[in-house]
Amino acid sequence: MCGIVGYCGVKQASEVLLEGLKRLEYRGYDSAGICVGEGGCLTTVKCKGKIRELRSIVPVDLKGTYGIGHTRWATHGEVNDQNAHPHSDCSGNISIVHNGIIENYSVLKEKLQSDGHVFKSDTDSEVIAHLVSSLYTGDLEKAVKLAAPLLKGTYGIACVHADEPGVIIGARNGSPLVLGIGNDEMFLASDVTAMMSYTRQAVYLEDGEIVRIDAHGYTTSDVTDRAITKKIEHIDWELQEIEKGGFPTYMEKEIFEQPLSVERAMKGRLDKEIATGHLGGLNMTSSELLNVERVKLVATGTSYHAAMVAAYLLETVARIPSTAELSSEVRYKNPVVERNALHFVISQSGETADTLYAMRELQRKGARVLGICNVVGSTIPRESDGGVYIHSGPEIAVASTKAFTSQLTALYLFTLLMARMRHLSFEAGSRILEAIESLPGLIAQVLSNADAIKTVAHKYCAHGNFLFLGRGLNYPVALEGALKLKEISYIHAEGYSAAEIKHGPIALINEETPSMFLVPDDRLRDKVITSMKEVKARKGKIIALAVNGHGDIDEIADDIIYVPKANDILYPFLMVVPLQLFAYYCARKLGRDVDQPRNLAKSVTVE
Ligand code: M6R
């Protein structure tokens, strides 16, 4: 949420900043700006709109070898030119970009205004520029260190001063900040994608840390001036992974990557000899795992739907009582941490504020919390007590797709591990293991049906409302299908357990409201078919996601999207992929910006 980039070096900073912002645009895209320094003078260019709009107004001859940039997802103040970052103090000598929320900004603003500071925007962020200015006595780093303890809330900040050419000061509290080390150049950004064209050497800042960079190096310290030595980490992602690679959109690329990303999630984690999952990062001994009497999975959005599938599976297959909860609710309910409960937080980005704060609250109460994350080096994996990286590669489209199937893969392996340590026989474990291993091939089969899915999507995309209905393991998948459709096509869609519609939602059924039924070949199939008949009787249009080779659905459904027959537990994977494609093709047909849908941002780092 909001992207920050900073550069000090020998290149023209405006080009590096614009390129970095383009790569960060998925974090927020309502307005953007840069501030470039040259010879004791700062020049700011900013506007409402996307990076392409910003690029069109940045003078080609804008000189300066250091600067800061920002792409915004508005929290305080409407989307307009003035509220775009960077923000400056009254003199224009200090310029800042900020990611996060300053909770006490109105108190600080009042005080600064009474001291004569004049504000130009409605943002909480501008207060930082004026505060730093009020504390500046010739040393920007010192002023930021004095300002930081006065700011309540979350921030990742980059700050420059006209009188200190070539220097950027960064500060982190709750919003990610990473610095990149190049040859005679240094970078600062809210995530590594902004700097990957230039360097693979990264240093991740922790909360409370302040960094000073210039073209030749960096120093890290805290607000008390205590020097902090940081580890330099290598960024493993390849540049082509953050490019579209011939696809028209990132979302399509990421959907079609799933055979590969699921394979990566299971690589080296299938132990055939003892028919179990092998997850090295859990940091738990066998006896600790055996003592687990309850599993609680905490997440939000798509990751929450993965948590729901996993809770169902852990309970039915591993026979461990398990629940999924929304992280935003966990944090504020004064959660009970039971003895012998194991907690998971699941987050693609590893930065989602609701999930991060829920994790910290659980840890404060003594819980052991493991993370299931994608972004290596992000905050949740660094602060959790262990966990599993899903290795999906960068997920750039705002709508999460490949991360979901990779999260499921990791959670299925965990379920297998827990089940095998308990009652599950070698033979039954082997069957599950083989099923998991067959996933990449089965997902590829589903993807080969993309044209048929597109035809169905084009037939239905003019409808304004949809219901998505599934049961058992596929009930969360119905929720996920509805979420995908609404977030990228702006069509209203709701997901329910197919059994629940008769308790209310069936009142919505008419010829205008199609229902997408998930009908896997499992033990609840007949029950789902009964719900389909109830909808049919009320003249509701039905699209069925069903297994090839059963004539009975033909009579009820208006359209059928076929998926291959598989082991029951695999249907969440085989059902979600067509739903991702259905949402995608509807959105494209309606002319939506699928990668950057309105009002959204990829990584939600504010509450
Ligand atoms: O990075 P996280 O997995 O923690 O993100 C959670 C949600 O913000 C995310 O899944 C969101 O709902 C997506 N836009 C769904 O496609």
Probe residue for ligand 1, chosen from 604, 605, 606, 607 as the CB with the greatest number of ligand atoms within 8 Å: 604
For residue 286, give every residue at least 6 positions away whose Cβ sits within 8 Å of its Cβ, in sequence order, or none.
421
From ligand 1's centre to the CA of 515, what distance in Å? 24
Strands of 465-470's sheet in order across? 492-497, 465-470, 515-519, 542-547, 559-563
User: What whole-number distance in Å separates Cα of residue 594 and Cα of residue 583?
Assistant: 9
Burial of residue 568 (number of CB atoms within 10 Å: 0-12, 13-18, 19+)? middle
Nearest ligand 1 atom, CA 354: 4
Bridge partners, 343 (sequence order): 296, 369
Name residues contacting ligand 1 (CB within 6 A): 300-303, 347-349, 352, 355, 398-400, 483, 487, 603-604
Probe residue for ligand 1, chosen from 191, 255, 303, 602 as the CB with the greatest number of ligand atoms within 8 Å: 303
* Residues 104-142 pLDDT 10s: 999 999 999 999 999 999 999 999 999 999 999 999 999
From ligand 1's centre to the CA of 391, what distance in Å? 16
Question: CATH 3.60.20.10 in the chain, residues?
Answer: 3-235
State which fold the 244-437 domain adopts.
Answer: Rossmann fold (3.40.50)
Place of tokens 């080779």: 549
> What is the SS3 assignment for 216?
coil
* Residues 64-86 pLDDT 10s: 999 999 999 888 889 999 999 99
Question: CATH 3.40.50.10490 in the chain, residues?
Answer: 244-437, 447-596
pTM confidence score: 0.90
pLDDT on residue 417: 98
* Residues 321-332 pLDDT 10s: 999 999 999 999
Strands of 233-234's sheet in order across? 41-48, 31-38, 66-72, 3-8, 186-189, 178-181, 201-204, 233-234
Question: Measuring from atom 7 of ligand 1, which residue has the nearest CA?
Answer: 301
Question: Measuring from atom 14 of ligand 1, which residue has the nearest CA?
Answer: 399
Question: Measuring from atom 16 of ligand 1, which residue has the nearest CA?
Answer: 399
Is pLDDT of 549 > 80? no
Where is 352: in which H helix or E strand?
Answer: none
From ligand 1's centre to the CA of 484, what distance in Å? 11
pLDDT on residue 240: 83
From ligand 1's centre to the CA of 350, what distance in Å? 10
pLDDT on residue 603: 80
Residues labelled catalytic: 2, 602
Is pLDDT of 27 > 90? no
| Single-letter amino acid code for the residue at 584 | Y
Nearest ligand 1 atom, CA 401: 16
Nearest ligand 1 atom, CA 600: 14
Question: Measuring from atom 9 of ligand 1, which residue has the nearest CA?
Answer: 301
Query: Per the omega criterion (within 30 degrees of 0), is the bond before 578 cis?
Result: no
Closest by Cα among 191, 234, 589, 98 to 396: 191
From ligand 1's centre to the CA of 381, what distance in Å? 16
* Phi (first) and psi of residue 210, to 5 degrees: -120, 140
From ligand 1's centre to the CA of 349, what distance in Å? 8
* Residues 552-573 pLDDT 10s: 899 999 999 999 999 999 999 9
* Residues 380-432 pLDDT 10s: 999 999 999 999 999 999 999 999 999 999 999 999 999 999 999 999 999 99
State which fold the 3-235 domain adopts.
Answer: Glutamine Phosphoribosylpyrophosphate, subunit 1, domain 1 (3.60.20)
State which fold the 447-596 domain adopts.
Answer: Rossmann fold (3.40.50)
Lowest mean pLDDT segment, chosen from 85-89, 273-277, 521-525: 521-525
Probe residue for ligand 1, chosen from 29, 249, 305, 349 as the CB with the greatest number of ligand atoms within 8 Å: 349
Probe residue for ligand 1, chosen from 300, 372, 600 as the CB with the greatest number of ligand atoms within 8 Å: 300
pLDDT on residue 239: 81
Nearest ligand 1 atom, CA 602: 14
From ligand 1's centre to the CA of 275, what distance in Å? 32
